Every structure is written in structure tokens, then in C-alpha cells.
A = this chain, B = another copy of it.
Amino acid sequence: MSATTETSNLDLAAYTAATADQAQRASRILALATGGQKDEWLARSAELIRCRAGEILAANEQDIARAPEFGLTSAAVDRLRLDEDRLEGIASAVEEIIMLPNPVGEVIGNNIRPSGLEVLKVRVPLGVVFFIYESRPNVTVDAAALCVKSGNAVILRGGKEAFHSNQAFHAVLQEGLTDTGLPPDAVQLVSTTDRAAVGHFLKLHEQISVTIPRGGKTLIQRVAAEATMPVIKHYDGNCHVYVDAAADLEMALQIAVNSKCQRPGVCNAAESLLVHRDIAESFLPRLATAFAERGVQMRCCTRSAELMPGSQSATDEDYATEFLDLIIAIKVVDDLQSAVEHIERYGSRHTDAIVTNDRNAARRFCAGVDSSAVIVNASTRYNDGGEFGLGAEIGISTDKFHARGPCGLQELTSYKYVVNGDGQIRE
């Protein structure tokens, strides 16, 4: 290792340690902030995003200009691009978080013991959140808003593609903190794009309470392997729609098409369709037409292939794949139990839907499928913080530990016991 690299490593170690220390100090102050103070910051931030539109858009122009260097696809450039409308959307999203109740201090359990001791379970912030994410700069604002409203300090580590846009948003968010008397270090943006900085932060479990990586599977695997603190992970969405024997076939058609086609590149889009054998003959030919019209490639089992003109045959691998594209794997199953077992075997425990008018079938499916969301008679696309009423989300957890599914304000909290007595001693 050269002397230069060593020096640079030493600097990164000092920089990340100082950042994490500042975040921890800010988190202690923020934990005691009232809901009113935090909402005032949210309001001021929304206002500043509107006032500083010129500066933010100019910074964004710099990122757009550099996009070819990073080999961004035109879709990625589009996601990166800001304009007046998108800025207004970002400011409004911040204002929506004002409307949500302050989670900190909420009494979530309450037990008066025989001794008269009052045992309260009270929601408290986690502390410091290290958030690693890619591309879209609105995520910077959403994440900061959720973390601060839930009483946490946040260290933001955005993608290099959005570096200037993130800096512009960060300046505005910190100005808002200063204006409203909250510690500016409550929202810090990592000022280096050196990937080694992430490794340093992942060692700081004394200061950082949780790391949330949001991006590709490789990033999440790296973070999960290196982190010395808890990680909220967001892996694959290999989502299923199961059309039961007792389904309304017109509803099933709408739900299958919406789940697959409305936005095929996202984690809650359907990747596989399972059909009960009793309705395969009446349903699959209609579905084949609808999918063909939308350019969906169908990969079918032997039984479904016969009923779906233009389909290819599916491999075992296809059933395990998150295509994130206009491709769907299709299989005829003998009964609901076979559908549940197929999902257990191939699914990723993200989002799975059943279409049925049979109450018992719905109950059995919901109990049997171990996914973050099980959906009856609606599109898989609904597994989303906004759609579930959480306001924004900092990620969708595919873990069962701490938080599962969309993570909003409550999922960024822990609790403490507050015990009120009048002199109780034991024994």
C-alpha cells in the first residue's frame, strides 16, 4: 500500500468518526425536540426548497451534464432530472410529513401492576441512521424529513450521479435546522464519493444505530456483510399473483395486468402468475391476449403453454427470477396449497396477492404466505409506504426483524419503559 493511500485512509477514518460523533451529539438534542419544533423545520425546509429553486436546479444541471461520464441510461437521467414541478412535488411531500403524528413519546403500551407500579412503553428515536442510497435526489429530502421527524440524526450517503443536487438539498435542509434552532448536524451529507468511506462508517456501531442501504443487491449484500450495527435490508421483490378457482376473472385480469405492467421495473411488480387448474382454461387465453397487447413475454409451464398462444416454456430458474421487465413466469397449480408452496419455494417474501371471492381461500393464503405484504383482490403494486398511509418511506424491509415492509416514521423508532412508582421496592 502506498503512503498516499495510507494517508487518505487515515483521513477517511478521522472524517467518518467526526461525522458520526457530530451526528450522535445532534441526535441527543433531537431526541428531546418537540413535535412542534420538528414540524417547524419541515415547513421551513419546504419553503426554502421553493425559494432556492434556482440554486437547486443549477446544481442538478451539473449532475445532468456529468451523467454521460457515469454511463447513465436515459431512464436513469430522467429519474435524476429536476424541474419546477418535481421540486414542488418534493416540497409538498415534506409538508405531508408535517400532517403525520410525532411518533416520539407515543405511549404504545401501558400496564398498571398489582403493586401500583405504572409501566409505560414509550416510543423513542433509534439515534443515528446511516442511509446509503442511489440516484434520485428527492430521496435525500424524504429520508432527512422522516429521520428528523422521528427524532433521529441522519448521515446521508447519496450516489455520485446526484452529488451536486444532493449538496444543494443538504444546504437547504441544514439552513432550515439553523433557522429553527435545531442542531445542523442532525442532517449531514457525506462529502466524499470515495467508496472506502462507507466501510469506515460501517465500523462505527458505537455512534450509528442502524444502517439502511437502498439500491442494488450487490450494495446491500456488501453492507450486510461489513456492517457492525443492525441493517434494514431491502432485497428482491419476486412477487406473485395467484388466481384462485373462486376468482372474479375480470378482476383477476385487471390485477394481473396492473401488477405486471403498471411499472415493471420496481420491486412490487409481479414476476410470476399462478392459476388454479379449474379456471385455467377460461382465464389464460384472455390473459394471453391482454399480455400480448402490452408486449409482455410469457414463460409458461406445460399446462399453461397450451392455453397461451405466443408463450415460451419456463425453466425452474424463471420462477426464481425478479425480471424487473415485461416478462412473466406462469404456472397452473392444482390447488391453493400448491400455490402457497410454490411461493414459499421461489418467492422472496416481499409481496404476494390472491384473487378470490372465497373467504376461506383468502384466509388460508394470508396465513400461509410468509411475505411482508399479502394482498387480497388488489394489485401487488400497493405495497408502498405512501399507499399504506405511512407518508414517505425510507425503504421497504425484506427482513422480519425490527421492521418489515415499508419503513416510515414508526419504523425509525425504538421504545423505552418509563416506570412510575411511589416508593416500591422488591420483596
CB contacts (< 8 Å) of A426 on chain B: these are: 258, 262, 379, 381-382, 387
Within 8 A of B (CB), among A9-64: 28, 31-32
CB contacts (< 8 Å) of A402 on chain B: these are: 230, 401-402
Q: Which 7 A-B pairs have the closest CB atoms?
A: A378-B421, A258-B425, A400-B414, A378-B424, A373-B417, A402-B402, A230-B401
Distance from A378 Cβ to chain B, minimum over Cβ atoms (Å): 3
Q: So how many copies of this chain end up in the complex? A: 2
Cα distance A119–B422 when bound, in Å? 41
Question: What are 18 residue pairs bridging A and B, where the CB atoms are less than 8 Å apart in the complex?
Answer: A113-B389, A126-B401, A230-B402, A251-B423, A254-B423, A255-B425, A258-B425, A262-B426, A370-B416, A373-B417, A373-B418, A377-B421, A378-B422, A378-B425, A383-B419, A401-B401, A404-B414, A405-B417
- Give the residue of B28, B111, B416 whose beta carbon is less than 8 angstroms from that of A372: B416
Q: Can you list, as one digit per residue, whether each of A375-403 has a CB less than 8 Å from chain B (1) or not (0)?
A: 11111011100011100000000011110
Please classify the interface of chain A as helix (H, G, I), strand (E, B), loop, or mixed, using the class held by over half of its residues.
mixed
CB contacts (< 8 Å) of A425 on chain B: these are: 254-255, 257-258, 262, 378-379, 381
Asked whether B424 lies within 8 Å of A382 as measured between CB atoms, the reply is yes
CB contacts (< 8 Å) of A370 on chain B: these are: 28, 31, 124, 127, 416
Which residue in chain B gives the minimum CB-CB distance to A111? Answer: B389
Distance from A235 Cβ to chain B, minimum over Cβ atoms (Å): 12
Cα distance A425–B402 when bound, in Å? 29
